[in-house]
Structure 1
Amino acid sequence: MCLTEKPRFFITQSRKAPELCAKENKTKENMIRIILTIAILLFNCLTFSQTAKKENYTLTIIRGKVAKKNKQTFWITPTTLTNNTKDTLRYYSMSCSWQIFYSVDSNKLQVEGKDCDKNIPTILTLAPGKSRTVEIRLLMSSKINSSKIKFKIGFNLMKVSSIQKELDYDFKEQQKKNNIIWSNIISR
């Protein structure tokens, strides 16, 4: 071990001892630099990977209109999915019941579904920087005061690779809703 102050028993050592100490200290300094560099790189990778996921795709809703049909009240909400990446987004939908990919965070609202004669998985594409808007019909509970409601809509984004086909769609995976992108919050 190298010391700055040498005890008496080191006095008899040869002249190589200071050179070895200097070499050992440089090795320690280099190891510390390498460890710090790796730690900084790992921290940056973790930080940027988490923020990038949230910003790759955005879901935006705007205050829609209220419509009444068959004694039921609906809040029709334009909902826009935007691809903020440099790559074309390929994702699953359904030919008829595309609404199953959407959810709402309020138990006083429910995404209206559709009765379908034919309903098969489809693959939609969204070019870089482009958006797609759909109108979500939210069934309002009869016990709700619509002037006090606050909610956001979620979209279960099931991305599709370039080799996947419509028939590779996994119904169980869709029901798990593991990849939900949440919109902004709006209130009435």
Structure 2
Amino acid sequence: MKDTVCYTDGKFHRCLYGIIPVALSNQSTDTLKYINMSCLWIDVFKTNAENVKLLRTALMEECWKNNPAVYGVAPGQQNVFYIPVGFLTDTGKGELFMPKVFKIGMSLYRYIEGARLPVDIRWLTLRRETDNVIWSNEIAVR
């Protein structure tokens, strides 16, 4: 983890930065096809903790062709996402970093063969009826 400054909620915050690997596993006998954005793939992820923020990288921000795409996970296989995470800390107040326990969720949008792709996936994540979140196991950072 690295000590840095994170920009979130329209403000700069002191934070610790780390990369968390999260695996999407397919336990079925059929290929799992899902929709995600080609550059801003992180938009389908969220955390269950207020002091843990998902951060966009410079490569995500500089993308000129961010469009929905279909991805697949073969039966018995997994896709691993390396999620950049910022832990908003208490260290700016002279306090020690407190351990964090949280989960990372992925809004999974299954692709149906022949269906039209949405223009932007972010609006799907804001609607309850389409926000199909699968959660990771608990992640502890000390």
Tell whether 2:121 aligns with 1:179: no
Identity %: 25
Q: Which amino acid aligns with 1:91?
A: Y
What's 1:107 paired with?
Answer: 50
**Greater C-alpha radius of gyration:** 1
TM-score of the superposition, structure 2-length normalised? Answer: 0.75
Whichever structure has more helix as a proportion of its residues is: 1
Give me the CA root mean square deviation: 2.2
Q: Which amino acid aligns with 1:92?
A: I
Question: Unaligned stretches of 5+ in structure 2?
Answer: 6-13
Alignment of 1:48-59 (within 5 A): none
What's 1:89 paired with?
Answer: 32
Note if contact 1:158-1:174 (Cα within 8 Å) is conserved in structure 2: no
Larger RCO, structures 1/2 (Cα 8 Å, 6+ apart) = 2
Deviation of the 1:165 alpha carbon: 4.2
Question: Unaligned stretches of 5+ in structure 1?
Answer: 1-65
Tell whether 2:75 aligns with 1:132: no
Whichever structure has more strand as a proportion of its residues is: 2
Deviations 1:9-39 (A, max 9, x none): xxxxxxxxxxxxxxxxxxxxxxxxxxxxxxx
Number of aligned residue pairs: 123
Q: 114-123 or 147-156: which moved more?
A: 114-123
What's 1:155 paired with?
Answer: 106
TM-score of the superposition, structure 1-length normalised? Answer: 0.58
CA distance in 1 between counterparts of 2:54 and 2:107 reads 13
CA distance in 2 between counterparts of 1:138 and 1:173 reads 22
